[in-house]
């Protein structure tokens, strides 16, 4: 297991590996929108179908939960999470006037006592000690996986991780009131009770689910649309029949779990998908697997992790979804109940992530998605940086729009077999 984890760190971090990634879907033909001075790839169409970005009817109330702690530099240098992510979503949403009024709630921090509901006391203590001293002893690094290339030590680590948990607890409390709560800094779905894993120090989705259970609900649906298997959440509730977990993730991708025949002890379904997974294939899985399974469970609440690493252009996956497909999948799942928590997750391309989560918040709160962003917003996107994305691969619509061009394609036989297997 230790050798596997060391290999995982190398697979995620080393630039010599990451720069060899070959993207899918770079042959779309079109032209850029707006006046760009930056060198960008103009071979991508930015046209949109009007019905795709039409405003939704907003739920009775939606809230955006976040914190300025995510403006602080984190994860050190040369790490996929060192890019601007959640702070960019807040900034772009404010530029569009989408965080006005009382919709924004400041995320609290989870207390040590709260964290101990799922995480082991000795692990929490080790994390606090490492954060306060700025160093990790070798035995602590090996046992708890703190201070590794994968899960580096950085100033403010404990505050950041405990705030993510506090935000997901608050999101679940808002959901119990009948609201849809969007918490983009949540979604740390790999965290283990006794160690860090996959860039995740705590597991905030677990705490969102526990809060909903504490509220008297006994049928919680958890759906994970991140490119990586939601292993930590599935394992946390593997023998709890009150929680049904569904994960759609890239096959043969770290953490190499979530095979199609993995149903945990009670209620779990896993849909590992092949490289090049497109919008048409996600729609097929929604129609023939995810929604039928979800409706059959009759959930009282839904918790979603919607990482953007499943989008075309992310450097740590080979999937080819547009953000339109991800938005639509989330919207359809939220129609199942009146108690909803929407979390962030992975995502290592700042342009695709910030645009996707900003647009998702716009959709959830009933805003009109602009076909072309204001010039100030375009300038903001143009100023972003990411060492994992080559300059020539930055696409025109990443700098000028929120909505991607749709990414349809054939529904391959293995997708159909996967749907059949999980519904059998």
Q: Report the catalytic residues.
A: 190
Residue 163 CB neighbour total at 10 angstroms: 25
C-alpha 108 chain-centroid distance: 20
Distance of CA 33 to the CA centre of its chain: 28
Other Cβ atoms within 10 Å of 402 Cβ, number: 29
Collapsing DSSP to helix, strand or coil, 131 comes out as helix
Sort residue 244 into left (φ over 0), alpha (ψ -120 to 50) or beta.
beta
Secondary structure string (H, E, C) spanning 34-87: CCCCCCCECCCCCCCCHHHCCCCCCCCCEEEEECHHHHCCCCCCCCHHHCCCHH
Task: Phi first, then psi: give them for residue 302, nearest 5 degrees.
Answer: -125, 135
CA atoms within 13 Å, Cβ hemisphere of 140: 19
CA torsion angle for 180, 185, 186, 189 (degrees, to 10)?
140
Answer whether 347's CB lies under 8 Å from 308's CB.
yes
Question: Hey, which residues does 270 pair with through a beta bridge?
Answer: 247
Angle between helices 350-364 and 375-382 (to 10 degrees): 140
């Amino acid at each position: 297991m230790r050798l596997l984890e060391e290999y995982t760190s190398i697979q995620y971090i080393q630039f010599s590996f990451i720069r060899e990634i070959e993207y899918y879907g770079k042959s779309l033909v079109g032209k850029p929108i707006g006046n760009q001075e930056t060198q960008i790839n103009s071979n991508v169409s930015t046209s949109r179908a009007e019905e795709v970005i039409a405003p939704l009817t907003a739920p009775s109330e939606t809230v955006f939960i976040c914190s300025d702690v995510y403006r602080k530099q984190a994860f050190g240098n040369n790490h996929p999470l060192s890019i601007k992510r959640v702070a960019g979503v807040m900034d772009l949403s404010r530029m569009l006037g989408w965080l006005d009024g009382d919709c924004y709630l400041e995320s609290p921090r989870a207390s040590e006592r709260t964290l101990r509901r799922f995480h082991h006391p000795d692990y929490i203590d080790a994390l606090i000690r490492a954060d306060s001293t700025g160093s990790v002893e070798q035995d602590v690094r090996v046992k708890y996986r703190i201070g590794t290339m994968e899960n580096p030590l950085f100033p403010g680590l404990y505050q950041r991780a405990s705030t993510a948990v506090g935000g997901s607890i608050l999101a679940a409390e808002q959901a119990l009131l009948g609201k849809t709560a969007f918490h983009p800094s949540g979604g740390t779905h790999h965290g283990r009770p006794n160690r860090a894993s996959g860039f995740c120090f705590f597991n905030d989705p677990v705490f969102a689910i526990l809060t909903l259970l504490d509220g008297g609900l006994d049928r919680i649906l958890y759906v994970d649309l991140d490119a990586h298997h939601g292993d930590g959440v599935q394992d946390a509730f593997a023998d709890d029949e009150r929680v049904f977990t569904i994960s759609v993730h890239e096959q043969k991708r770290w953490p190499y779990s979530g095979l199609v025949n993995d149903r945990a002890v009670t209620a779990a379904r896993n849909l590992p998908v092949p490289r090049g997974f497109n919008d048409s294939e996600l729609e097929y899985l929604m129609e023939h697997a995810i929604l039928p399974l979800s409706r059959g469970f009759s959930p009282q609440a839904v918790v979603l992790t919607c990482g953007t690493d499943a989008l075309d252009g992310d450097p740590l996956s080979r999937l080819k979804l547009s953000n339109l497909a991800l938005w639509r999948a989330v919207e359809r799942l939220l129609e199942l109940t009146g108690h909803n928590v929407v979390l962030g997750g992975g995502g290592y391309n700042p342009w695709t992530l910030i645009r996707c989560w900003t647009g998702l918040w716009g959709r959830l709160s009933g805003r009109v998605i602009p076909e072309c962003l204001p010039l100030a917003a375009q300038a903001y996107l143009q100023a972003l940086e990411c060492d994992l994305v080559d300059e020539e691969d930055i696409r025109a619509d990443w700098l000028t729009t929120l909505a991607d061009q749709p990414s349809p394609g054939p529904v391959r036989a293995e997708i159909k077999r996967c749907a059949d297997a999980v519904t059998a």
